[in-house]
Amino acid sequence: MKGAYDIIVSLGSWCGPSIFLWRRQLRRFSLPLDWMISNSVTDLTRLLKNRFEGFMELGQLRKIDGTSAYLEEGIAVPQQGGTYQSAHYILDTRYNVISVHDFPIVPNQDWTAAYNVYSNKLAHRVHRFLNVLQHSRSVVFIRWGEIGEAEAVELHAVLRSLTPGSCKILFMQTVSGLESIQEIDWGQDDIGTLQVPLERPYDEAAWNRIMNGLSLTGYW
């Protein structure tokens, strides 16, 4: 997986890959899955296979328990008093993906009031995602979470159909109770897998080790 790529893309399952890519100056701009929770690889693969058709349409969204910081292009929005604006958790029931940073909590205002602004922002990110994949010479995707070999192969096949250039995936397979990072070999071309401790998602040293040797070309 080590090398220079035109673009490095986070595939979730949470915001961690995007955060740590940004800290190492390996993320150029926001893409549709950067600030989402997408626990199911099967649903993620279906979403990508459908090229985001119908993704986050208003009629299939519902507010669920949970709040987080409201972000604009990955940056928390400050409020008076030194606090930060919060956001609702909004679930796409078709694809089982949760927006956690896009719908600001505003007193006496329903979450749907922010939908039009969000929809336009998402459409821009989806267009950027598909365009960048189509025109990049080399892409590496990073995915954190539970993953099996069959799921990995299926996801890679769908991404390969969207990416005419070199297409690789680095999976960070979470394992409960693991003490250190372990490399495993599924014998699959262009798929790398590291087992990582489930309980330490913010381990800076682990992320630095994982991303060591990755860099960006000047293509974009």
pLDDT at 205 over 90: no
* pLDDT (average), residues 204-220: 92
Neighbouring-strand partners of residue 173:
145, 195
Residues in contact with 187: Cβ distance below 8 Å, sequence separation at least 6, in sequence order: none
Instruction: Write out pLDDT tens, residues 68-127.
Output: 999 887 788 888 778 899 999 999 999 999 999 999 999 999 999 999 999 999 999 999
Whole-number Å distance between alpha carbons of 175 and 122:
32
Q: Where does 38-184 show beta strands of DSSP type E?
A: 61-69, 71-72, 75-76, 86-92, 97-104, 138-145, 166-175, 182-184
Question: What local confidence, expressed as pLDDT, does residue 81 receive?
Answer: 77
Question: What local confidence, expressed as pLDDT, does residue 97 receive?
Answer: 98
Contact 87, 63 (CB under 8 A): no
Whole-number Å distance between alpha carbons of 16 and 123:
22
Question: What local confidence, expressed as pLDDT, does residue 154 receive?
Answer: 98
**Helix spans in the chain (H):** 16-23, 41-49, 115-135, 149-162, 204-211
Whole-number Å distance between alpha carbons of 211 and 31:
19
